[in-house]
Amino acid sequence: MSGPVRRPPLVVVLIAVVVIALGETAGAAMSRLRPQIERYAAARVAANAGVHGLSGSAEYDDDVRDRAIFTAEAGLSFFHLHAEGLGLVLFFASTLVASAVPGRTMRGALYVLLTLGGLFPLGYLAYGAAVLEVGRDTGVELAERSILTPLGLAAIAGLLGLVLGLARRRA
């Protein structure tokens, strides 16, 4: 059955556009401000020497610092990549919800889950910052446990709910 393509609530549209815009801006920042970002990351590692296990031995410390900076930059790079992708996923999936999922309650629940899932990329910004502030392994674990896993699960639940909603309408 064909029909009009309905739009989701404006708040959902706004979050999708903002996530895409943040992704684009992060990509530009990564390219244009790379030396500044590296300097900032190195300064944060030096300021949090204890959590990074810096020992005072130049060779060992350089290695630890390089790995922390690399991980923080990877966080920024993942943020760029995921924000572009998940902003689009939120846009298209919520449009499908608005157009093809029956029941106001079900649609509302799916908007909430998909919007939370659309915020998943922000976890990678937190990942990059946490690595610098609380150490590499602790930072990665913290970002994964407290942000990436719950928001990622919300995205998966929202998409599975959309599949169920579409199947229900077909039946």
Partner 1 sequence: MTAPDPLTWRMPPRWVLLVGVLSIVCAEVAGASMARFKLELARWARGAMLTHPTIHGLVGVRDVDERILDEALVKFDAGLRLFHMHAEGMGLVVIATATVAATLAGPGAARRAIVGLLTIGGAGYPVGYLVWSALIPSQGLERAKTIAEWLVWIPFGSAAIVALWWLAALVAWRIWRP
Positions touching partner 1 (CB under 8 A) are: 4-7, 10-11, 13-14, 16-18, 20-21, 24-25, 27-28, 31, 84-85, 87-88, 91-92, 95, 98
Burial of 132: CB neighbours in 10 Å, binned 0-12, 13-18, 19+? buried
Considering the complex, state which of residue 25 and residue 55 has its C-beta at the smaller distance from partner 1. Answer: 25
CA 5, distance to chain mean position in Å, is: 27
Q: How far apart, in whole angstroms, are the C-alpha atoms of residue 158 and residue 113?
A: 5
Shortest CB 171 distance to partner 1, Å: 25
- Total Cβ atoms within 10 A of residue 61: 17
DSSP conformation letters of 116-158: HHHTTTHHHHHHHHHHHHH-HHHHHHHHIIIIIHHHHHHHHHH
Shortest CB 151 distance to partner 1, Å: 20
Shortest CB 66 distance to partner 1, Å: 19
Considering the complex, state which of residue 11 and residue 163 has its C-beta at the smaller distance from partner 1. Answer: 11
Considering the complex, state which of residue 88 and residue 109 has its C-beta at the smaller distance from partner 1. Answer: 88
Residue with tokens 């966080």, as numbered in its chain: 75
Shortest CB 166 distance to partner 1, Å: 18
